[in-house]
Structure 1
Amino acid sequence: MTLEISQAARHALATWLDHIRALKDGSENTVSAYRADVLDFITFLTVHHAEPQGLAPLARVTTSDMRAWLAHLKRHDIAARSVARKLSAVKTFYRWLSEREGFEPTAVLTIRAPKFQKKLPRPLTQDAAKAMIDTVELQTRDSWQGARDAAVATLLYGCGLRISEALSLKGRDLPLGESLRILGKGKKERLVPVLPVARRAVESYLTLCPYPMEPEAAVFRGARGGPLNARHIAKVTERARMQLGLPSSATPHAMRHSFATHLLQAGGDLRAIQELLGHASLSTTQAYTAVDQVHLMQVYEACHPKAG
């Protein structure tokens, strides 16, 4: 017997996702992840109860149903971190649905996510970050493309930008001044300082780029003139890290991690770093304090005369 998701459940999910887009300023990546996680949950309930789950059955979900779903995920070797993400999406959906339909969502909201050890950011050393920028530039034949890749890497490390933020720069943002207004996750706007080295890197690229910089055109162009794809930066970074003998954690995003960690090691204020990174919560930024403590212990163990 083939079971399908009820039309009412599909409509509710689509309406909720529209709500996330409109009111919560959710990115398309976030919306896609929410859709997949909640759809998987409703699919499980449909199979679990052997009947389509309309709004009334969804409102009657029990603690037993929730435990059965978590057990199902565990049997399929879904990592604890992914289970926690899925559960968070389902809870967010149920908070909205319960307000809309007028039912009590306690059975869903009181289920606890499995515990997992949060991964610490894995930054590069300052020397490795600089070497990565220099080596990334050597991964393409055309000098303008090499200058482009180096400019992107410099913005990631020098300004703490996400790769999507660097690639979203438009001609209207030029020439770069001492600061740059960035629209980050959740359409949250922030102002980041632009170091002279980052401005020079972008200027070097612009002098070589064969394409005109219209106000609404992407600053960073692909070989044929279209917007540069993030996958290209990931590939040249991977080739560069292999040449430098760096670990697989040396990704474009690690350059942003390195920016934050090196600022903290230099005495930067945690709140200021939160603003520079565009983190909605200080707890996200606090992960870098743990990285800094690990660094300090390594220095202590290597250098203190009594550490051995």
Structure 2
Amino acid sequence: MAMTDSERAARAELALLAGAAPDVAAALKGWLARLGNERRLSAKTREAYARDMTGFLGHLARHLDAPPDLAAFEALAPRDVRAVIAAKRAEGIEPRTQMRFLAAARSFGRHLEREGLGKVGALTAVRAPRIARTLPRPISVADARKLADPDLRAGEARETWVLQRDAAVLALLYGSGLRISEALGLRRREMPAPGEGDHITVTGKGGKTRMVPVLSNVLQAIAAYVQACPFALELGGPLFVGEKGGPLSPRIVQRVVEQLRGALGLPDSATPHALRHSFATHLLARGGDLRSIQELLGHASLSTTQIYAAVDASALMASWRAAHPRATLGERSGKGG
């Protein structure tokens, strides 16, 4: 049976504490408790913090030739922190992951200062790696619909209810713009039957809840899966289950999309999360306003949602270049209109 998010977080936290100097381990335990109790971060986020901090401490120990204690932390110079980041860069780790390592270390540093255990000024003195902001790559409306069509996999040697389940999950990701963790975290009682409601309450990042609409055809796809499912879906249990009746793993959904994009000739960027991108981009293209899309996606900041405006503008220009009779001529001559 697959581990729960809480179990994975506990394992990551134990691994972090096992490799730390005793006084640092005690401080890390307090930091992890603060993340869970005061900041109310989800188990998945706590696991990420623990893993990133484990990586940071491992590289720092190699740089210092010993696991750092609290005195060593306070004595860190900016060059020591840069050495850790440089080591990650040499391993081919991308800037976004480097930034996460530094963010975890800074969070721990703030905890040390709040608890009177020392001030690690070197962590804030080092500039975070620059991240090139890439535009999301949405899937076309037609391809998004095909991904959620169970008939596309009719020839597979899989049970019908499994195909219906996969189609229902993908339809929900595209139809409501959910993260895969949000869709698979739904309880049976949280999804209305067709004709009994048109929205659900979703728990997103940081434990924040939001209300999102569910299309009638998506509700019908989910109802078909529920009816065909051979397991008794308890009201308080997961809505989507695996072939042995336990919670459905995100990796199963990812593998399904990998297979389907091969059948449809889609690029590697066609992932379950790309369906969420497609939801936002297609809404914007049809006149949806950014504020409403921000609420539907559960973004904390409008600037995060604004990236879809750039996607929409980019697609518009691509269409113009392909279709406008003077586009090629104007670009070749370098003249504007």
Superposition TM-score tier, normalisation by shorter sequence: over 0.9
Q: CA deviation at 1:102?
A: 5.7
| Match for residue 161 of structure 1 among 162, 175, 178 | 178
Q: CA deviation at 1:294?
A: 1.1
Query: Does structure 1 retain, via aligned residues, the 8 Å contact 2:41–2:206?
Result: yes
Give, in whole Å, the separation in 1 of the partners of 2:247 and 2:262: 26
Query: Does structure 1 retain, via aligned residues, the 8 Å contact 2:192–2:198?
Result: no
Partner of 2:3 in structure 1?
none
| Match for residue 71 of structure 2 among 56, 75, 81 | 56
Q: CA RMSD in A?
A: 1.8
- What letter is aligned with 2:27? A
Q: Does 1:276 align with 2:296?
A: yes
Percent identical: 43
Give, in whole Å, the separation in 2 of the partners of 1:227 and 1:76: 35
Partner of 1:132 in structure 2?
147
Q: CA deviation at 1:69?
A: 2.0
The 3-state SS of whatever aligns with 2:149 is helix
TM-score, L = length of structure 1: 0.92
Q: CA deviation at 1:131?
A: 1.2
Partner of 1:115 in structure 2?
130
Give, in whole Å, the separation in 2 of the partners of 1:62 and 1:31: 27
- What letter is aligned with 1:127? A
Q: CA deviation at 1:289?
A: 1.5
Give, in whole Å, the separation in 2 of the partners of 1:228 and 1:51: 42
Residue range with higher mean Cα deviation, 47-56 or 131-140: 131-140
Partner of 1:218 in structure 2?
238
Query: Does structure 2 retain, via aligned residues, the 8 Å contact 1:13–1:35?
Result: no
Inter-CA distance 227–74: structure 2 relative to 1 (3 Å threshold): closer
The 3-state SS of whatever aligns with 2:110 is helix
> Which one scores higher on RCO, CA 8 angstroms, separation ≥ 6?
1
Partner of 2:56 in structure 1?
41
Q: CA deviation at 1:58?
A: 0.9
Deviations along 1:181-213, whole A, 9 cap, x unmatched? Answer: 111111000000111111111112122222223
Partner of 2:286 in structure 1?
266
| Match for residue 305 of structure 1 among 325, 329, 337 | 325
Residue range with higher mean Cα deviation, 186-195 or 15-24: 15-24
Partner of 2:333 in structure 1?
none
Give, in whole Å, the separation in 2 of the partners of 1:5 and 1:255: 40
Aligned residues: 305
Query: Does structure 2 retain, via aligned residues, the 8 Å contact 1:59–1:98?
Result: no
Partner of 2:311 in structure 1?
291
Q: Does 1:255 align with 2:270?
A: no
TM-score, L = length of structure 2: 0.85
Residue range with higher mean Cα deviation, 25-34 or 125-134: 25-34
Give, in whole Å, the separation in 2 of the partners of 1:140 and 1:260: 34
| Residue ranges of structure 2 left out of the alignment (5+ in a row) | 1-18, 329-337
Q: CA deviation at 1:49?
A: 2.8
Query: Does structure 1 retain, via aligned residues, the 8 Å contact 2:198–2:213?
Result: yes
Deviations along 1:214-243, whole A, 9 cap, x unmatched? Answer: 211212122222222222211121111100
Residue range with higher mean Cα deviation, 298-307 or 182-191: 298-307
Inter-CA distance 73–224: structure 2 relative to 1 (3 Å threshold): closer
Q: CA deviation at 1:75?
A: 2.7
Which stretches of structure 1, 4 residues or more, deviate above 6 A after TM superposition? none
Q: CA deviation at 1:140?
A: 5.5
Q: Does 1:204 align with 2:219?
A: no
Inter-CA distance 225–66: structure 2 relative to 1 (3 Å threshold): closer
